[in-house]
Each structure stands twice: as structure tokens, then as C-alpha cells.
């Protein structure tokens, strides 16, 4: 801990921190130095932040994915311990200060966005490049409603690589999660005929989000019903190209969000076969993608589905719930 006089020299803010990899209990609320915006950055006073699978996986060094993936995770995040002690990528809040040469925003602007793998949004303040993944918050949304927009909303934009055309048939597997609910709505915005696959309790939600057809995976296997699709979007990483291949039309695409085996399949199917695998690794998130989500929200064609909201000091329970893999849409932390 810093000596008592430290905070007299460097103003402090509250943040959720961790200094070792492990279960949710390694997280705690602590005082950290208040960040200062550099040239081209804005300081955001965070009002709400999303709790995501990426946060959970980074916190435990991807231990559940096997030793090889865990080692890769540590090479990125820190071999012996996390280099960045504050997790959180997706946020909403108010601009509190501007770095030099920032003209796009002004102090007091309500904004939302993503820090990406810089993390840092589980705190009262975070710095973000003004030219990065940040935009003015849709006026119709509260901070809690805006905070998770970029989680599923950015990851689901790998669907653009499939070049979906109006009236094409798109199936979204795992359609009730953060990425799935986003993918369903994005596919609809492209003019596709969308089939959502989810559990029984979420069928009506899928219809309310615009799904043309719904399949209850607890009672029906879409790979055996004889239907074929132009695009199959695996939003939860629990299917495979081999299982889905017979359900793809010739020239169709299996779009994956997880599983490093799909990287090799992406390269292989570019040259062989008439059905492709698309796996965007590493994902390339841009400001334009954030602005697309804002436009769709303003037009009433997109909403970030929220399952539960927790206060900042209840982060351990929030993370535990995310790790059950039973959440519908997004989980949000409110920052006091």
C-alpha cells in the first residue's frame, strides 16, 4: 500500500483491482492514482461498466481453456501477475477532462465505448483515446443501458466479413448471450432472415429482438432438421464447423467467435471446399463500428439486452454470475 502522504500528492479514485490470477475472490475495491489524459485522450468519469467473459477469462489467465492457451494469456497479460491491475473494457460515463489537441469532445459530454485490451474501465475514471472506440451516448439511454453496447456489439461485427445480403438466411447459435443478441440484431439490420437458437426461457426475447424463426436447442438440433443457411454464426463457441457444415448452403460461411482451431480452418477453407470458416483473430475494433451501433440505436434497430445490474462493491457476485454462462445479454456494474 502507498504511504498516507501519497494521496495528498496524487489524487486517488476507487477501482476494482487484482494482483494475482485466480477466482473472483482475487478482486477487491481499492484506491488507485487518478489517471491524467495525455495528448489526444479524454478522461472519462465512469458511471457504469460491463462485466464480460473476456474480463473473467483474463482474470483467471484462461485456465479453463487448457495449459497452452493459459500460457499465451499470461504472455499477453503478464507471466507472473497482471500488468494491468484494473479490468473492464466497456463503459459509459461523462468526459471529465481533455488532453491536448482534443476537439471532438467537450467536458460534460455523455459518452460510451470500449477500452479494448487496455482494460481499465472498472474504475471511477479511465483515459481513452479520443480517436478510438468512443462516441457520444445515445440520448435515449441511461448510463447503465449504454455501458454494455460495445461488448457484444463489437464482437458481433465479425458478421460483416460474411458480406450478408438482404434475404439471405442467417442462423445465430447462442442467440441469448451478449454477442448473440447483438449478432441477431445486426443480421436483421443487414436485411437477413434470421433464425435464433437458444433455450426455452428466451424464445420470446428472441422474437422481440426481431428473429424470424426460433429454435429451442433443448428440444431440437438445428443440424438435423434439414434446413440450410447462408451464414451460421456461433456466438458462444460451443459448436464446430464440422457439425454445421451440412447445414450450410454451398458458398455459405461458418462465422466463429471462439476456438483457435478455427484459425487454421479459416486459412484452409479459403483454398479448399465451397463452404468457408470466418474467424477474426485478432478482432479489429474501430470507432466506425461504435458509431454504427449508435446509429442503429438512434434508429430504434438495436438494443443492448441487460440481464442484471450490480453495484461496484458487489463485483465478485457479478463475475460469479457471468461465469455460470447462464446470463441473458449483459451484466453491468454501476460506479458510484
Q: For 7-22, how does the pLDDT look when each residue is reduced to its tens digit (9 = 90+)?
A: 445 589 999 999 999 9
Q: Which CATH class is domain 153-279?
A: alpha beta
Query: Where, residue-wise, is CATH 3.90.180.10 in the chain?
Result: 6-148+304-334
Q: Distance (Å, rounded) from C-alpha 39 to C-alpha 37?
A: 7
Please report the DSSP string for 274-293 in residue order: SSEEEE-SS----HHHHHHH
Q: Distance (Å, rounded) from C-alpha 174 to C-alpha 179?
A: 8
pTM for the full predicted model: 0.91
- Helix (H, G, I), strand (E, B), or coil: what is residue 239? coil
What contacts 208, CB < 8 A, 6 or more positions away? Answer: none
- Considering the domain delimited by 6-148+304-334, tell me its CATH architecture: Alpha-Beta Complex (3.90)
Q: Report CA Rg, the chain.
A: 20
Contact 178, 326 (CB under 8 A): no
Neighbouring C-alpha atoms within 13 Å toward the C-beta of 310: 17
pLDDT in tens, 291-329: 999 999 999 999 999 999 999 999 999 999 999 999 999
Contact 308, 318 (CB under 8 A): yes
Contact 38, 26 (CB under 8 A): no
Contact 297, 303 (CB under 8 A): yes
Say what the pLDDT of residue 336 is: 87
Contact 272, 245 (CB under 8 A): no
Say what the pLDDT of residue 1 is: 46
pLDDT in tens, 59-101: 988 877 667 777 777 887 878 889 999 999 999 999 999 999 9
Query: Where, residue-wise, is CATH 3.40.50.720 in the chain?
Result: 153-279
Task: Taking the CA atoms of 79, 56, 93 and 129 in sequence, report the sign of the dihedral they define.
Answer: positive
Cα 150–chain centre separation: 6
Amino acid at each position: 500500500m502507498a504511504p498516507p502522504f501519497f494521496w495528498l500528492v496524487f489524487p486517488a479514485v476507487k477501482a476494482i483491482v487484482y494482483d494475482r490470477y485466480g477466482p473472483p475472490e482475487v478482486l477487491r475495491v481499492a484506491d488507485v492514482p487518478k489517471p491524467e489524459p495525455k495528448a489526444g485522450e479524454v478522461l472519462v468519469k465512469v458511471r457504469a461498466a460491463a462485466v464480460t467473459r473476456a474480463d473473467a477469462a483474463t482474470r483467471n489467465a484462461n485456465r479453463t481453456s487448457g495449459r497452452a492457451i493459459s500460457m499465451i494469456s499470461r504472455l499477453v497479460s503478464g507471466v507472473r501477475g497482471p500488468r494491468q491491475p484494473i479490468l473492464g473494457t466497456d463503459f459509459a460515463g461523462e468526459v471529465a477532462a481533455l488532453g491536448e489537441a482534443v476537439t471532438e469532445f467537450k467536458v460534460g459530454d455523455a459518452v460510451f465505448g470500449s477500452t479494448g485490451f487496455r482494460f481499465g474501465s472498472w474504475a471511477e475514471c479511465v483515459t481513452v483515446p479520443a480517436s478510438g472506440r468512443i462516441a457520444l451516448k445515445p440520448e435515449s439511454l441511461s448510463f447503465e443501458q449504454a455501458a454494455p453496447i460495445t461488448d457484444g456489439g463489437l464482437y458481433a461485427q465479425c458478421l460483416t466479413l460474411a458480406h450478408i445480403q438482404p434475404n439471405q438466411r442467417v442462423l445465430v447459435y447462442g442467440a441469448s448471450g451478449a454477442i448473440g443478441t447483438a449478432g441477431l440484431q445486426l443480421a436483421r439490420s443487414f436485411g437477413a432472415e434470421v433464425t435464433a437458437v437458444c433455450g426455452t426461457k428466451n424464445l420470446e426475447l428472441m422474437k422481440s429482438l426481431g428473429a424470424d424463426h426460433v429454435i429451442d436447442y433443448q428440444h431440437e438440433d438445428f443440424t438435423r432438421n434439414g434446413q440450410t443457411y447462408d451464414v451460421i454464426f456461433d456466438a458462444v463457441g460451443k459448436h464446430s464447423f464440422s457439425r454445421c457444415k451440412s447445414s450450410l448452403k454451398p458458398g455459405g460461411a461458418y462465422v466463429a467467435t471462439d476456438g483457435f482451431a478455427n484459425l487454421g480452418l479459416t486459412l484452409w477453407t479459403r483454398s479448399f471446399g465451397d463452404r468457408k470458416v470466418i474467424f477474426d483473430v485478432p478482432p479489429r475494433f474501430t470507432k466506425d463500428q461504435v458509431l454504427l451501433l449508435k446509429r442503429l440505436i438512434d434508429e430504434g434497430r438495436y438494443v443492448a439486452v441487460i440481464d442484471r445490474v450490480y453495484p461496484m462493491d458487489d463485483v465478485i457476485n457479478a463475475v460469479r454470475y457471468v461465469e455460470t454462462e447462464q446470463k441473458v445479454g449483459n451484466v453491468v456494474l454501476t460506479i458510484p
